[in-house]
Amino acid sequence: MLVIITYDVNVTSQGGARRLRKVSKACQNYGQRVQNSVFECVLDSTQLKQLKIQLTEIIDQDKDSLRFYNLGKNYKTKVDHIGVNNSYDIDEPLIF
């Protein structure tokens, strides 16, 4: 299933910049960044649980915000993009 993860980390608070880096790094292990604080991750339910636990441990719940949007398995028709595209099609093989 495709899960969209969006986050707001309060970088003006103490340790905020470090939390932001760690949130982004954790998400990169599971999917692709499509905008500054938006990741698209194809996950099974176990992976989603793991990632939620990891991210919950990283953020300061009084200052930062995480949102998860589950688009399910048939997501191709549910995603639309307009403008500059800094990402790649998640199902296309990466060419190294």
Under 8 Å between Cβ of 69 and 39:
no
When asked if residue 67 is in the footprint of its own copies (CB under 8 A), the reply is yes
Pick from 44, 46, 73, 82 the residue near its own copies by CB under 8 A. Answer: 82
CA–CA separation, 54 vs 50, rounded Å?
6
* Piece of the chain touching its own copies by CB under 8 A; list 3-11, 24-32, 88-96: 3-11
Number of residues that bind its own copies (CB under 8 A): 37
Helix (H) or strand (E) holding 5: strand 2-8
Give the CA angle between residues 1, 56, 22 to the nearest 5°: 90
Residue numbers belonging to the annotated binding site for Mg(2+): 8
Binding site for its own copies (CB under 8 A): 4, 6-8, 10, 34-38, 52, 55-56, 59-72, 77-86
